[in-house]
Amino acid sequence: MTPAARLAAAASVLDSIAQGRQPAEAVLKAWGTENRYAGSKDRRAVADRVYRVLRARGRLVWAMGGREDGRALVIGSLSLIDGLSLEEIEALHMGDGYGPKPLSKQERSRLTATTDELPGWVAAGLPEFVMEDFKSTYGDGWAEEAKALMVPRAPIDLRVNAAKATVADVEAELRAAGLEPQRTPWSAWGLRLSAEPPPNVQALEAFKAGRIEIQDEGSQIICWLAGVEPGMTVVDYCAGGGGKTLGLAMQMRAATGLQPTAPEEPAKVWTPTGWVEAPKGKAATVVRTDGKLVAYDVVQKRLDNIKPRLQRAGVAAELHQLGPNGGGVEDMVGQADVVLVDAPCTGSGTWRRRPEDAWRLTPEDVDRMQGLQTAIVARAAKLLKPGGRLVYATCSMLTAENEVSVAAFEEDHPGFRPVAIAEALNNANFTEAGREKLAELATGGHRLRLSPATAGTDGFFAAVYEKAQ
Ligand SMILES: C[S@@+](CC[C@H](N)C(=O)[O-])C[C@H]1O[C@@H](n2cnc3c(N)ncnc32)[C@H](O)[C@@H]1O
């Protein structure tokens, strides 16, 4: 494909993304399948253009006088992102072959217009109504938070599955496969891969054998805050595709023997009361899950997808579909030691991975989510036994889905004591640096916010409670 034809293709993919609800990645994949003549370099170039436009969409719409169509956004990107001159952009718009039509008079004049100072939300690259929420949460730091959320390419985080491997083993295995994993700073089970060049994680032996899962470090942190131990009864109330179910299951494994580790590795064994130093050079052999883990969701298809993941990871969980109003949990009321509510949300904490979602969100969506969240957490809380722990979490950056939702829960549930994050960090799944950093981010309270700017993770929120005895 010529450079001009790639631009025309990117514009048409952008139009398809705007017209539907599908993730940009899926639309790009479908485009590649339908256009077999496009080689791998073409597909990379088209995807690259599409993502660059999506990350800067607010600024590009503004520059193109409010136009939101793919063609206008691509033209704007050539000027504002690539810094091309009008002549260079015109040379890419000759209308020949599969390239885009020549520029119109209006398009030329937009490209040569002097730009006034950009409004804050345009400069920061966020939808306007989201900016107000960010300002009230982050104060002066709001624009930095927004930029970190929208601009960079997120790395790929892996969680090592303690039921099958040690971090050191997987690290060595990935290096032998030509990758350069780095340990994640806060989660003791995380390894981080650069997004460039994109690693094919699913093709790795370590993935196929269940030694690793793809899971953002922020999501791992949510799992560790639950403080799960072998023998507990644990509920993952909004299990979705099971990312956190697997992280919870891993903590329920029971150590049943010792195996050798590399001599330089500080070896630990898991005991029902926590991790203890192992005899030199030995670590726990983990062979079974101890306790009961129940994963609920309203969507059966999502639960079905968890099955092969559990199998691969060598861990177990019961999977149950909930009725639309939370029916189907009667046997679990008052039974659980831990309930995790990974509530449905706008997903705004993952916009660095799915920037298209930012431009689909409406204030009505946020209101709807908030209503759902408060209803869901109230239902899920009923499953706890006295003294049990509730973790409410979202992957949203918005106050409306986080502080506001849990404030409503707290008001209606005086029998739930807030648990300081510093207390919940007291387990071996966090690194020493993680315990320090996350306690700092929680500023002494029971609520924690993670973001690309402050923690290098996707945006997450967590609040931790204990049900009164
Ligand atoms: C944020 S996702 C969960 C992601 C998942 N925990 C993970 O880590 O992969 C939220 C889930 O809540 C589910 N959900 C929506 N409404 C619900 C309800 N009323 N009760 C329980 N779950 C619900 C959705 O189907 C969705 O799978």
How does DSSP assign 408-419, residue by residue?
HHHHH-TTEEEP
Q: Of 223, 238, 345, 395, which one is the catalytic site residue?
A: 395
Helix (H) or strand (E) run with residue 87 in it: helix 86-91
Q: Is 238 a catalytic residue?
A: no
Report which protein residue has its CA nearest ligand 1's atom 10: 344
Residue of higher predicted confidence among 264 and 256: 264
Residues in the chain, overall count: 469
Q: Which atom of ligand 1 is nearest to the CA of 297?
A: 22
| Cα separation, 58 vs 434, whole angstroms | 35
Calculate the average pLDDT of the chain.
91
Residue 240 CB less than 6 A away from ligand 1: yes
Closest by CA position to 344, among listed 319, 321, 368, 318 = 368
Is 342 marked as a binding-site residue?
yes
Residue 298 CB less than 6 A away from ligand 1: yes
258's tokens: 């010792």
pLDDT digits (tens, 9 = 90+) for 165-201: 889 999 999 999 999 999 999 999 999 999 988 899 9
Q: What's the gap in Å between 39 CA and the centre of ligand 1?
A: 38
On the CB side of 432, how many CA atoms lie within 13 Å of its CA?
0
Q: For residue 259, is pLDDT > 90?
A: no
Q: What's the gap in Å between 12 CA and the centre of ligand 1?
A: 32
Output phi, psi for 336, to 5 deg: -90, 140
Q: Which atom of ligand 1 is nearest to the CA of 340?
A: 6
Structure confidence at residue 212 as a pLDDT band (50, 70, 90): very high
User: So what CATH class is 221-252+290-467?
Assistant: alpha beta
Q: For residue 242, is pLDDT > 80?
A: yes
Closest by CA position to 461, among listed 218, 248, 236, 234 = 218
Which of 262-276, 293-307, 361-375, 451-465 has the least mean pLDDT?
Answer: 262-276
Helix (H) or strand (E) run with residue 371 in it: helix 363-381
Residue 377 CB less than 6 A away from ligand 1: no
* 214 class by beta-carbon count within 10 Å (0-12 exposed, 13-18 middle, 19+ buried): middle
pLDDT score at 253: 78
Structure confidence at residue 275 as a pLDDT band (50, 70, 90): low
Q: For residue 61, is pLDDT > 60?
A: yes
Mean pLDDT, residues 143-153: 87
Residue 297 CB less than 6 A away from ligand 1: yes
pLDDT score at 152: 75
Q: Which of 223, 225, 238, 370 has most ligand 1 atoms within 8 Å of its beta carbon, as the pocket-test mutant?
A: 238
Q: What's the gap in Å between 20 CA and the centre of ligand 1?
A: 22
Q: Where in the chain is the domain with CATH 3.40.50.150?
A: 221-252+290-467
pLDDT score at 124: 80
pLDDT score at 164: 86
pLDDT score at 405: 96
pLDDT digits (tens, 9 = 90+) for 92-135: 999 888 999 999 999 999 998 877 777 878 888 888 889 989 99
pLDDT digits (tens, 9 = 90+) for 1-31: 999 999 999 999 999 999 999 999 999 999 9
Q: What's the gap in Å between 377 CA and the centre of ligand 1?
A: 11
Is 297 marked as a binding-site residue?
yes
pLDDT score at 119: 82
DSSP three-state, residue 362: coil
% of residues, the chain, pLDDT over 70: 92
Closest by CA position to 111, among listed 47, 67, 56, 151 = 67
Q: For residue 278, is pLDDT > 80?
A: no
Report which protein residue has its CA nearest ligand 1's atom 1: 344
410's tokens: 């707290």
Q: What's the gap in Å between 194 CA and the centre of ligand 1?
A: 28
- Please state, in angstroms and as integers, the Cα–Cα distance from residue 378 to each residue in 12, 210, 375, 393, 424, following that order: 44, 34, 5, 13, 21
Q: For residue 273, is pLDDT > 50?
A: no
Q: For residue 398, is pLDDT > 70?
A: yes
pLDDT score at 272: 40
Closest by CA position to 47, among listed 31, 64, 60 = 31
Residue of higher predicted confidence among 455 and 128: 455
212 phi-psi bin (left φ>0, alpha ψ -120 to 50, beta other): beta
pLDDT digits (tens, 9 = 90+) for 329-370: 999 999 999 999 999 999 999 999 999 999 899 999 999 999
DSSP three-state, residue 74: helix
Residue of higher predicted confidence among 281 and 214: 214
Residue 379 CB less than 6 A away from ligand 1: no
Structure confidence at residue 260 as a pLDDT band (50, 70, 90): low
% of residues, the chain, pLDDT over 90: 78
Helix (H) or strand (E) run with residue 169 in it: helix 167-176
